[in-house]
């Protein structure tokens, strides 16, 4: 019985020992797990501390930014208030100016009406004045034109002033398109002639002599004899001036003569620069 009791006790002790060892192993395993969890918690705590520090720093920056924005808002509010005050003043000035412009516009409208009335009166007076003086004004240019026409007509070279035909010989026209044909001499291998608006013909005869002829009074007039061979001549548009030019071999002055036909005198001589160039 004692041996069996010892065996039972030993078995119980063994069982208790095994259970104790198992519990110790479980406790050690749990302790390791707790230590690992503690280390992980410490790492997380450090990370959280860093995050919290960063957030605190960001919060400080945001607070500074908010403070700056608040200051700017206050300044902007003050500026807006100043602008509103200035706007109110401008609105007041604009209203006063609009009222003044309205008064000026009424005055201008009244002045415009007076101007139109005065303009109409002056236009009526001018129209009446023009009608009153229309006939004299029409006659004056015609009289002046007739005076010029008469002054450029050839003057007979004969003592009695009758028609002459020293150079010009009228020829009967056989063609209906022709009004007059005149036979004249040559000048420098071709006929130098020109006719003005009054149908006064200027023509060169015998190279150096210049004659005028008009079918109106049937007269011819020797205007001049040049010292050189005449190669070209031309009337001006009004028909009162006649330009005469010639060969420079004989034209020692190298000039073109400008004749005032109504006065029968030379009014100007134009110098020609190129001595080697003739007029034709």
**Residue 258, number of CB atoms within 10 A of its CB:** 15
Give the domain ranges of the chain.
1-132, 145-271
Distance CA 188, CA 226 (A): 13
Side-chain-side CA neighbours of 250 within 13 Å: the count stands at 13
Q: Is the dihedral of CA 224, 227, 228, 229 positive or negative?
A: positive
CA distance 217 to 208: 25
pTM for the complete prediction?
0.44
CATH number for the segment(s) 145-271: 2.130.10.10
Per-residue confidence (pLDDT) for residue 165, from 0 to 100: 58
Tell me, what's the pLDDT at 160? 52
Over the stretch 255-267, which tens digit does the pLDDT of each residue have? Answer: 789 999 999 999 9
Question: Tokens representing 12?
Answer: 């119980």
Residues of the chain with pLDDT under 70: 1-2, 133-140, 156-191, 247-254, 273-280
> Cβ atoms within 10 A of the Cβ of 199, count?
15
If residue 147 lies in a helix (H) or strand (E), which one and from where to where? helix 134-152
Strand blocks (E) in 66-199: 169-171, 181-183, 193-195
180, 173 Cβ separation under 8 angstroms = yes
Owner of token pair 């100043």: 82
pLDDT at 93: 93
Torsion angle, alpha carbons of 42, 47, 53, 55, to 10 = -130
Backbone angles phi, psi at 24, to 5 degrees: -65, -45
């Amino acid at each position: 019985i004692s041996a069996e009791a010892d065996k039972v006790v030993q078995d119980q002790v063994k069982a208790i020992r095994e259970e104790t060892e198992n519990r110790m192993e479980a406790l050690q395993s749990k302790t390791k797990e707790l230590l690992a969890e503690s280390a992980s918690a410490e790492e997380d705590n450090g990370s959280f501390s860093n995050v919290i520090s960063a957030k605190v720093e960001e919060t400080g920056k945001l607070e500074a930014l908010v403070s700056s924005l608040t200051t700017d808002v206050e300044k902007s509010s003050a500026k807006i208030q100043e602008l509103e005050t200035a706007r109110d003043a401008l609105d007041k000035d604009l209203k006063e100016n609009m009222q003044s412009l309205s008064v000026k516009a009424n005055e201008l409208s009244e002045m415009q009406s007076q101007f139109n009335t005065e303009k109409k009166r002056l236009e009526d007076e001018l129209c009446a004045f023009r009608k009153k003086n229309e006939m004299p004004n029409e006659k004056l240019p015609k009289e002046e034109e007739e005076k010029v026409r008469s002054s450029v007509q050839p003057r007979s070279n004969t003592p009695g002033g009758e028609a002459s035909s020293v150079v010009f010989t009228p020829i009967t026209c056989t063609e209906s398109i022709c009004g007059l044909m005149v036979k004249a001499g040559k000048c420098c291998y071709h006929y130098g002639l020109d006719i003005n608006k009054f149908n006064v013909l200027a023509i060169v005869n015998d190279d150096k002599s210049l004659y005028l002829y008009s079918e109106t009074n049937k007269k011819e007039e020797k205007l001049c004899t040049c010292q050189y061979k005449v190669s070209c001549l031309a009337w001006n548009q009004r028909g009162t001036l006649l330009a005469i030019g010639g060969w420079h071999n004989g034209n020692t002055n190298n000039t073109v003569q400008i004749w005032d036909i109504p006065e029968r005198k030379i009014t100007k001589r134009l110098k020609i620069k190129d001595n080697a160039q003739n007029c034709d």
